[in-house]
Amino acid sequence: MMSKKRIEDIVDQILPEVIALRHTIHRNPELAGNEVSTSTLIRKTLSSTNIEILPPFLGTDVVGLLKGKEKGRNVALRADIDALPMQELNDLPYKSSIDGIMHACGHDGHTAMLIGAAMALDKLRDELKGTVRFVFQPGEEIAAMGKELVDAGALKNPEPDAVFAMHAQSGYPVGSLISRKGTITAASGFFKLRVIGKGGHGSKPELTVDPILCACRIVESLQSIISRNIDPQDAGIISVCRFEGGRNGNVIPEEVILEGTTRFLDSRIGEQIQSLMERTIRGICLASGATYEFDYKVPYIPSFNNSLCVEAARKVTEKYFGKDMWFEMDRSCLGGEDFAFYLRDYPGAFCFIGMGVDSPAYHNPKFDFKDEAIRNGVIYLVAMVLDGGLLD
């Protein structure tokens, strides 16, 4: 069993560099599939280690293998590296330098913690039996490129015996670990609806087919699908997040665009939601004399945690940080997460790491990953490999 003090000492040695890397990544955010400078920084940082960096599978991914002194099992650790199309409202010395793009979901922290774990495990290679795969994944936001990366073979040769990832979470003490056995995150669907009417002058509505009125009826009716058609004990969400139509105060437009998202934990519920949405839209448009175009995709599947891997995470957390730093979730999170595609094929655990009880939530323009959480995150990842009972 690995010495707790040795892990902590090594992480403390590299911590200032890891925090500085986080600030650099935060200052230079990049969107899904375009993480060129981020992936270049990761490769450059790890080039001085014993980690074998594989050729890219998708272009901006970085996948590395660290082989231990002895043969053994393989553990894969993953971090997402992309940012969001949002304007940062923080006043930080390292605030985003790119207008309209920021790390509002903590991926800068996830990436820095995994770089730190890679650096620390490289220094502890003499203790390693087996191999560790470090996966820096592009496009978790919007694009769900985790599926593409897994399908491209990024986890092959050797295949992992366990996979692990972390995500920032507000509402919990800084550096605490939060998880649950079984389903932890939801499937996420995304829809775009184009309601097509007949435009005209606002003073002559009788000569038009008003797509705004039709779209309003659709929005209102979509809200009743969950409350009146889905069992209250089954999770389901339909949220319309964009409503766009018209350019002038006295012109009824030709069309209205609606966009939004659905969430569910059970594929049966997901199929029911889609069917009911299509029926509702079709009926209202028919009654209104409008036509429509409806596009619906479900790029994120539910994430399912292996109970043994979650138990290992709990033991590591309690050993290194104390029992009061482990929180068991009593219900699933309805956010989407493409680490689900790793967990679909291999046992593992997805955990949240606390950002503070009063921290702004992720996807907020004032969110900033807490530097104070990085030490615990790096130690957790290293300890899961060396001290989690997974390579015995």
Instruction: Indicate whether 11 and 120 sit together in one domain.
Output: yes
Could you give the CA distance from residue 194 to residue 291 in angstroms, rounded to a whole number?
A: 8
Tens-place pLDDT, residues 59-94: 999 999 999 988 889 999 999 999 999 999 999 999
Residue ranges of the chain with per-residue pLDDT less than 70: 1-2, 388-392
Contact 337, 187 (CB under 8 A): no
Q: Domain limits at 164?
A: 4-181+306-386
- Phi, psi (deg, nearest 5) at residue 2: -70, 145
CB 72 within 8 A of CB 392: no
Residue 155 lies in a domain: yes
Whether residue 332 is found in the same domain as residue 194: no
Instruction: Let me know whether 246 and 105 are in one domain.
Output: no
Overall domain count for the chain: 2
Q: Same domain, yes or no, for 29 and 155? A: yes
- Let me know whether 240 and 144 are in one domain: no
Shared domain for 256 and 312, answered yes or no, is no
How much is the pLDDT for 390? 54
Structural domain includes residue 391 = no
Residue ending a domain, choose from 299, 318, 342: 299
Please answer whether residues 325 and 172 qualify as being in contact, where contact means their C-beta atoms are separated by less than 8 angstroms.
no
Compute the distance between CA of residue 195 and CA of residue 293 in angstroms, rounded to an integer.
7
Residue 45 exposure: Cα atoms within 13 Å on the Cβ side? 28
Shared domain for 167 and 52, answered yes or no, is yes
Structure tokens at 319: 């050993």
For residue 392, the model assigns a pLDDT of 47
Please report whether residue 101 resides in a domain.
yes
The CATH number assigned to the domain holding 64 equals: 3.40.630.10
Which of 299, 326, 342 is at the close of a domain? 299
| CATH code at position 205 | 3.30.70.360
Residue 38 lies in a domain: yes
Q: Are residues 194 and 288 in the same domain?
A: yes
Which of the listed residues 273, 299, 325 is the one where a domain comes to its end?
A: 299
Same domain, 120 and 259: no
CA distances from 1 to 75, 114, 128, 264, 392 (A): 16, 22, 11, 40, 9
Between strands 326-328 and 177-179, the pairing is: parallel
3-state DSSP of the chain: CCCHHHHHHHHHHHHHHHHHHHHHHHHCCCCCCCCHHHHHHHHHHHCCCCCEECCCCCCCCEEEEEECCEEEEEEEEEEECCCECCCCCCCCCCCCCCCCCECCCCHHHHHHHHHHHHHHHHHCHHHCEEEEEEEEECCCCCCCHHHHHHHCCCCCCCCCCEEEEEEEECCECCCCEEECCEEEEEEEEEEEEEEECECEECCCHHHCECHHHHHHHHHHHHHHHHHHHCCCCCCEEEEEEEEEECCCCCEECCEEEEEEEEEECCHHHHHHHHHHHHHHHHHHHHHHCCEEEEEEEEEECCEEECHHHHHHHHHHHHHHHCHHHEEECCCCEEEECCCHHHHHHCCEEEEEEECECCCCCCCCCCCCCCHHHHHHHHHHHHHHHHCCCCCC
The per-residue pLDDT for 2 is 67
- 332 and 270 share a domain? no
Residues 284 and 163 in one domain: no
Do 209 and 160 share a structural domain?
no
Q: What is the pLDDT of residue 388?
A: 67
Residue listed under structure tokens 């790890």: 46
| Confidence (pLDDT) at 58 | 96
Cα–Cα distance for residue pair 287/177, rounded to 1 Å: 52
Do the domain assignments include residue 338? Answer: yes
Residue 141 lies in a domain: yes
Give the pLDDT confidence of 260-269 residue by residue, as tens digits. 999 999 999 9
